[in-house]
Amino acid sequence: MKSRRVQIGGVIVCMSLLLVLVAGCVAPAPATQAPAPTQAAPVATAAPAATTAPAAKPVKVALILPGRADDVSWNQAAYDGMQRAVKSAKVPVELKVVEQVYDPVSIEPALRDYAQQGYDLIVGHGFQFQEPIIKVAPEFPKAHFAIGTGYKVAENVGVYDVKMEQGGYLAGIIAGYLTQTKLIWAVGGVDVSEIHRGHVAFMQGVKSVNPDAKVVNNFVGDFNDLAGAKEAALSQMKAGADIVWQSGDGIGIAVLGACKEQGKLCFGNIAEQTSLAPDSVISSFVYDWAPVFGQMIDEIGANQFGNKHYWIEFANKGVSFAFNDAVKSKIPAEALTKFEATQKQFEAGTLDLGDLDSVKLEE
């Protein structure tokens, strides 16, 4: 607290009068001033300062990424989402971010390390973390583990996932209207659930507006095989594919590069990817993991975490589309109207695409 010393010359009577006037000008605290979030508003007299409740213990969170946090894709979406979740959490959070833990041999030691350090929430951002987490979690019952896009849960294990099918279906609508050759290509890294669902829904979206169009599906078999992905992309473009849907972390970057080189239209996925191919990206299906990361952090503080799936979707604003203004003018008004009406159905939960995991994809 800063103090101000006022020196006044003159007679004692004047000094006393001045002190009275000053005291009368000091205003009380406004009646509408909000109390501290963790304290109840006083009824009669304020509680003594000595009885103030101690600060809440921070929730320690370790976010383990299989790649770089600035990859403009899978890892960056998690990094950015976690930063937003930490800022908006109802409890204080201490965050540790670890990058490039991709090899399954390295995953299990990393999980054990952070569990032994007393981290409350350990997030493995990828399907490859599932089996190591399911193995390690029972050994650390006081720790909480989260698997990115897995399907196995346990008492102290939760799975967070994205309804990629919603983005795939909407992108398919746009692709069905835009294709000139009626040959469209969809490529993924590995044929795991969320990517499979996205591809099936993309095909359904195309067929809903252009039944004669053909959608060819490929899976590279690895999320980081950039060379293989680019080679496959160039091959499909040579065969006549003029629209591309890609989903698969690093391989998506390579596919966007091929689209840029060949002047083909494509979709960004996971993050806003227009900058990677400014004249080719139609729109990007953008993930925001903050809703589920924030929910998990708050549930740990309330002892409610685990044994469940956490989803990002249009309904909780965990996903969105970002159109590229340079390309959007090429999209027919009818297509945009159909797109917007369908997105509203997803937001309201009135459009169910069915069991997409059971649909076989033909390459």
Residue-wise pLDDT for 115-134, tens only, equals 999 999 999 999 999 999 99
**Which pLDDT value is given to residue 104?**
85
Nearest to 269 by CA among 123, 63, 76: 76
Q: What pLDDT digit, counting tens, does each position of 23-63 carry?
A: 333 333 333 333 333 333 333 334 444 455 556 789 999 99
What CA–CA distance (Å, rounded) separates 273 from 167? Answer: 15
Q: Indicate the domain borders of the chain.
A: 59-162+290-312, 164-287+332-358
- The CATH number of 59-162+290-312 is 3.40.50.2300
For residue 274, CA distances in Å to 81, 109, 253, 262, 277 come to: 19, 37, 11, 16, 6
**Which pLDDT value is given to residue 223?**
87
Listed as own residue / partner, the contacts of 337-346 with beta carbons closer than 8 Å and 24 or more positions apart are 338/173, 338/177, 338/209, 339/170, 339/173, 339/174, 342/169, 342/170, 342/173, 343/170, 343/314, 346/166, 346/170, 346/313, 346/314, 346/315
**Which pLDDT value is given to residue 2?**
39
**Which pLDDT value is given to residue 77?**
96
**Which pLDDT value is given to residue 362?**
75
3-state secondary structure the chain: CCCCCCCCCCCHHHHHHHHHHHHHHCCCCCCCCCCCCCCCCCCCCCCCHHHCCCCCCCEEEEEECCCCCCCCCHHHHHHHHHHHHHHHCCCCEEEEEECCCCCHHHHHHHHHHHHHCCCCEEEECCHHHHHHHHHHHHHCCCCEEEEECCCCCECCEEEEEECHHHHHHHHHHHHHHHCCCCEEEEEECCCCHHHHHHHHHHHHHHHHHCCCCEEEEEECCCCCCHHHHHHHHHHHHHCCCCEEEEECCHHHHHHHHHHHHHCCEEEEEECCCHHHCCCCEEEEEEECCHHHHHHHHHHHHCCCCCCCEEEECHHHCCEEEEECHHHHCCCCHHHHHHHHHHHHHHHHCCCCCCCHHHCCCCC
Name the residue type at position 103: D
CATH superfamily to which 164-287+332-358 belongs: Response regulator (3.40.50.2300)
**Which pLDDT value is given to residue 55?**
63
**Which pLDDT value is given to residue 48?**
45
Residue by residue, pLDDT tens for the chain (363 residues) are: 333 333 333 333 333 332 333 333 333 333 333 333 333 333 333 444 445 555 678 999 999 999 999 999 999 999 999 999 999 999 999 999 999 999 889 999 999 999 999 999 999 999 999 999 999 999 999 999 999 999 999 999 999 999 999 999 999 999 999 999 999 999 999 999 999 999 999 999 999 999 999 999 999 998 889 999 999 999 999 999 999 999 977 899 999 999 999 999 999 999 999 999 999 999 999 999 999 999 999 999 899 999 999 999 999 999 999 999 999 999 999 999 999 999 999 999 999 999 999 999 976
Same fold yes or no, 59-162+290-312 and 164-287+332-358: yes
**Which pLDDT value is given to residue 37?**
35
176: left (phi over 0), alpha (psi -120 to 50) or beta: alpha
**Which pLDDT value is given to residue 56?**
74
| Structure tokens given for 208 | 């809903």
**Which pLDDT value is given to residue 54?**
59
